[in-house]
Amino acid sequence: MCRINHKSEIRNQKSTAFTLVELLVVITIIGILIALLLPAVQAAREAARRIQCANNFKQVGVAMHNYHTTHECFPPGTIYWNSPMWNNPVCGPPPPQPAHPTYCGWGWGTFLLPYIEQQNIYDQIDFISNGSFGVGDSIWHPVNFPITKYRIEAYLCPSDPQGGELVKATSYNGFDTMEDCRQTNMVGISDSLDWTCDGLYAKHFSKADGVMARQLGCRMADIQDGTSHTLAIGEVTGGGPGSHLGHIWVLLALTDTYDGINGPFTVPGGATVEDFYGYSRPMGTSSFHPGGCHFTMADGSVQFISEDISQPILAALTTRAGEEVFQYGF
């Protein structure tokens, strides 16, 4: 009894303080554990954002099919007719006059609004009035400017630090009044070739072999390559936070796939804001998810495609009726 008491006294004396070395060891171990944990936490958060982004792409895929059920075609990539720049026949003759020239200027993101529960926004649009360009450009009418600024969460990716900011739509003479439109992280896949042909102006139809080619209104029957092997909607990023460079959902949310995934002319591919001098936005599909980006296929499914995909296969996935023979495992 006596010995036990004596021992516990000694123990009490010893445990009243701990040494500096012990403190440092504990701190080091905690530090190492945190260092191990932090990347895992970040990865888990990114995984959650990626799932949310994939969900957005799925919603748009469902909306596309609902649109197809109603209109018997997918929405046209964009309906735009009047720009004299587009009458430059570098890539062939201009297409026939569209059936509804007064609907000029609106993109697929606008036409899908009623199918992603944004009917209230859609109903505010004045498709009839003419804007600053004369006939058939209602999108440039001041009545519609507030529409172009609406933030559509379904079109945004939570991993993009730009966060759906207002981006410069154009600073071209005559359109000065329409400077800011809301960003989108989704674009229609319109072409397997550089649609500008000469690297400058988007032409009427450089090849327009994608599902969302402008003014097309692609039907399911037109997708002879198979809807599960054809890209419809892809992911894009802008010029970075505060750059006010990016794609807009209301007008021309389209891209070709000629510049790859996370390619050299995008921020995830290593380009900087200064590089975009003269261009109003990055070129090619891209995302801030590691290793690739999301696509909605024409069948409504969502695929995450690696940035290391070979360019010929990406082109084959782009075309709706290219009849290529290729294998790509989904």
Q: Can you give the binding site for other proteins, defined by CB under 8 A?
A: 25, 29, 32, 36, 80, 83, 85-86, 105, 168-173, 175, 194-202, 248, 251-252, 254, 258-265, 269-271, 275, 277-281, 283, 307-314
Least separation in angstroms between residue 146's CB and other proteins is 18
Least separation in angstroms between residue 30's CB and other proteins is 11
Q: Give the full edge-to-edge strand order of the sheet including 254-256.
A: 254-256, 186-191, 231-235, 292-297, 302-306
Cα angle value 321/325/329 (rounded, 5°): 100
Least separation in angstroms between residue 10's CB and other proteins is 18
φ, ψ for residue 307 (rounded to 5)? -70, -10
Least separation in angstroms between residue 26's CB and other proteins is 10
Q: What is the Cα–Cα distance from 245 to 102, expressed in whole angstroms?
A: 28
**Between 59 and 318, CB nearer to other proteins:** 318
Q: How far is CA 32 from CA 9, 73, 101, in A?
A: 35, 57, 65
Tokens of 216: 């097309």
Say if residues 299 and 232 touch (Cβ distance below 8 Å): no
**Between 281 and 294, CB nearer to other proteins:** 281
Question: Beta strand 231-235 with 166-168: parallel, antiparallel or unpaired?
Answer: unpaired
Least separation in angstroms between residue 167's CB and other proteins is 8
**Between 75 and 269, CB nearer to other proteins:** 269
Say if residues 92 and 205 touch (Cβ distance below 8 Å): yes
Least separation in angstroms between residue 290's CB and other proteins is 10
**Between 227 and 311, CB nearer to other proteins:** 311
**Between 76 and 105, CB nearer to other proteins:** 105
Say if residues 72 and 206 touch (Cβ distance below 8 Å): no
**Between 120 and 177, CB nearer to other proteins:** 177
